[in-house]
Amino acid sequence: MNSRAPLVDQFARRISYLRLSVTDRCDLRCAYCMPERQVFLPRAEVLSLEELHRLALGFIDRGITKLRLTGGEPLVRRDMIELVRALGRKLGAPDAGGGLEELTLTTNGTRLAEFADDLRGAGVRRINVSLDTLDRATFARLTRRDSLPQVLEGIAAAKAAGLMVKINTVALKGLNAAEIPDLIAWAHGAGHELTLIEVMPLGEVEEDRFEHYLPLSAVQDDLERRWTLTPSGHRTGGPARYFDIAETGGRLGLITPLTNNFCEGCNRIRVTATGQLFACLGGSEQVDLRAALRSADPDAAMADALDLAMRIKPERHHFVIDRPGGAPALARHMSMTGG
């Protein structure tokens, strides 16, 4: 790297959080995320383990302290644990050769039982597991795969391995809406935080997202009729607002890209498995880091590319889901950039 300057965008936001997608492939087909016949990238286009590692080190040099591995499903990538181990060695103080404060991942949980101990051994302490329902038939309808038992087994294995598990749930009208209180009670009862997310208009899918779009303002009203929600001072530097629920003794997060814009405090940047940096989840501003990595002078090219990313990061996204049959805001699926 030529420049070791911290990453600060044109709106004076300090970027300290990288979400790195390690694959666009997945073993589930969540209906709001991708079509059944999703066309995946040719493997040759995806960054190698060495390239992903080098890229992550470049970001750590520029002050990235939190790194989340995502996908697609990160645990379907064959050399994933090797990457986690290599990056785990960067956990710790910068003057001791580290720089990362947290290494984490977002997973659908289907392969967690196999990898929970390895993740913990590599230095991972907290993970996010996406789970939208506890009902097997609804799970199969939502993900188009009958994998709920594996996911529950994976969550239990993660807990047993000493990983803190946060459950992420996309709120969906007519699908899991009625079950949300039970999901929260289950998660809190098992010692997991749970965060609800509004569905976002990213990429073409077979279903009309408008049909299942559920504003979290309505969910919050419903939960407040049932339970005592107290706004929590808890902050993670992310977009969620938190509430403590007296009756369950747990914490609930709400991520509301549609009903309550949160871009002002954005501290993150995303890179796809092909090394495309997206400056915003909701925008098309992009920089090709793979070209930089494969150039004659990768350090200089990466430094220039990251400086450019800071100049083009937009102020905010402009998602709307306001009518039936509306086109996605972007052609790109969430499985490209990860959650």
**Applying CB under 6 A, which residues contact ligand SF4?**
26, 28-30, 33-34, 71-73, 108, 130, 335
The residue from 199, 240, 273, 281 that contacts ligand SAM (CB under 6 A) is: 199
Q: Which helix (H) or strand (E) holds 21?
A: strand 17-21
Q: Residue 155 Cβ, how far from ligand SF4 at the closest point, in Å?
A: 14
Report what 29 binds from ligand SAM, ligand SF4, none; CB cut-off 5-8 Å by kind: ligand SF4
Report what 100 binds from ligand SAM, ligand SF4, none; CB cut-off 5-8 Å by kind: none
176 binds ligand SAM (CB under 6 A): no
- Helical ranges in the chain per DSSP H: 49-61, 80-88, 112-121, 136-143, 148-160, 180-189, 209-212, 216-226, 289-293, 298-312, 334-337
Q: Which helix (H) or strand (E) holds 103?
A: strand 102-107
Which residue, 91 or 334, is less far from ligand SAM as judged by CB? 334
32 binds ligand SAM (CB under 6 A): yes
Which residue, 135 or 304, is less far from ligand SAM as judged by CB? 135
Residue pair 142/33 in contact (Cβ under 8 Å)? The answer is: no
Which residue, 71 or 275, is less far from ligand SF4 as judged by CB? 71
Q: Residue 12 Cβ, how far from ligand SF4 at the closest point, in Å?
A: 33
Between 302 and 331, how does the x/- string for binding to ligand SAM read (CB under 6 A)? ------------------------------
Dihedral sign, CA of 170, 171, 172, 174?
positive
Residue in this structure with the two tokens 């369950």, named with its chain if needed: 248
334 binds ligand SAM (CB under 6 A): yes
Structure tokens at 206: 């077979």
How many residues make contact with ligand SAM (CB under 6 A)?
20
The residue from 9, 24, 61, 73 that contacts ligand SAM (CB under 6 A) is: 73
Separation in Å, CA 267 to CA 35, 63, 78, 129, 239: 30, 11, 30, 22, 9
Which residue, 145 or 307, is less far from ligand SAM as judged by CB? 145
Report what 202 binds from ligand SF4, ligand SAM, none; CB cut-off 5-8 Å by kind: ligand SAM
What burial letters (b/e) apply to 318-331, b meaning 16+ CB within 10 Å?
Answer: ebebeeeeeebbbe
Q: In what order do the strands lie in the sheet with 250-255?
A: 229-231, 241-245, 250-255, 193-198, 164-171, 126-130, 102-107, 66-70, 17-21, 268-271, 276-278, 286-288
User: Which residues of the shown chain bind ligand SAM in the complex (CB under 6 A)?
Assistant: 26, 32-33, 70-71, 73, 106-108, 130, 168, 170, 197, 199-200, 202, 334-335, 338-339
